[in-house]
Amino acid sequence: MQTREIELGYLAQPDATAPGVVVIHDVWGLSDHYRDLARRLADAGFAALAVNLYRREPAAKITDPGRWIRGLDDRRMLEEIQAAIDRLAAAGSPRVGVMGCCMGGQYAILAAAGCTGLSAAVPFYGMLSDEHGLLAPAPGETLDRARKPRSPLAAASALRCPTLAFFGADDAFIPLADVRAFEAALASPHRVVVVPGAGHAFLNDTRPEMYRPDAARDAWSRMLDWLRTHLGG
């Protein structure tokens, strides 16, 4: 395996040409957790680029994650994801997918509906609605529709690549009603998996209060199967 920091983020890849996966971080940025996920994907036979969505954003201390995400320009975030997709394709990956968690899961869904060159997507507990849950505007706050053209829930019917979406049944940030509405908007081959006994961030082994080892192992295995089916490798 080869690993290195590049302008777009953190790249981990097998020694041979391999299918690519763009890894999209949560609201807290490109942390070691996402570098670790990239290395795990490389161990499984994928060229993984953990993209740094904030590389062109002004430095800021995030005190309110929901407000921070609401203030991001989705168009600019998708440009970064598109650049990462193009980087993997230019390096020889015959097919490219995307996975992400929390905010990254949200952008994985939007990328599956709006970016080109994707063959699979696997969002983990991505926020779905800008009206409910974590992303609901505060009283008196108006959402900037220029920055937020459509929610992931609104993008569900426009997915361009096979999407496998994971949600925790006990996620306090994503109402189960939104998950069911998202699922109802999908057709084959897309799939939604609701994990019983799991809440938000159940894949994140750096957060012991949220991590659910059995659920994480099962979801990771399902993700690899999905990526191998649709990307090869």
| Number of CB atoms found within 10 A of residue 106's CB | 29
What is the predicted pLDDT for the residue at 206? 97
Residues paired with residue 106 on neighbouring β-strands, in sequence order:
none
Look up residue 52 and give its two tokens.
């740094």
Confidence of residue 132 (pLDDT cuts 50, 70, 90): confident
Confidence of residue 84 (pLDDT cuts 50, 70, 90): very high
Task: Give the residue extent of every domain in the chain.
Answer: 2-231
Q: What is the distance between the alpha carbons of residues 51 and 191, in angstroms, rounded to a whole number?
A: 25
Res 233 pLDDT > 80 = no
pLDDT tens by residue, 9-40: 999 999 889 999 999 999 999 999 999 999 99
Cβ-proximal residues to 200 (8 Å cutoff; 6+ apart), any chain: 102, 125, 168, 171, 172, 173, 174, 210
pLDDT tens by residue, 40-78: 999 999 999 999 999 998 877 899 999 999 999 999 999
Pick the closest to residue 101 from 34, 25, 176 (CA basis): 25
What is the predicted pLDDT for the residue at 225? 98
Res 131 pLDDT > 90 = no
pLDDT tens by residue, 168-206: 999 999 999 999 999 999 999 999 999 999 999 999 999
Q: What is the distance between the alpha carbons of residues 165 and 182, in angstroms, rounded to a whole number?
A: 10
pLDDT tens by residue, 208-220: 999 999 999 999 9
Give DSSP secondary structure letters for 38-52: HHHHHHTT-EEEEE-
Look up the CATH superfamily of 2-231. Alpha/Beta hydrolase fold, catalytic domain (3.40.50.1820)
Give DSSP secondary structure letters for 62-125: -S-HHHHHHHS-HHHHHHHHHHHHHHHHHTT-SSEEEEEETHHHHHHHHHHHH-SS-SEEEEES
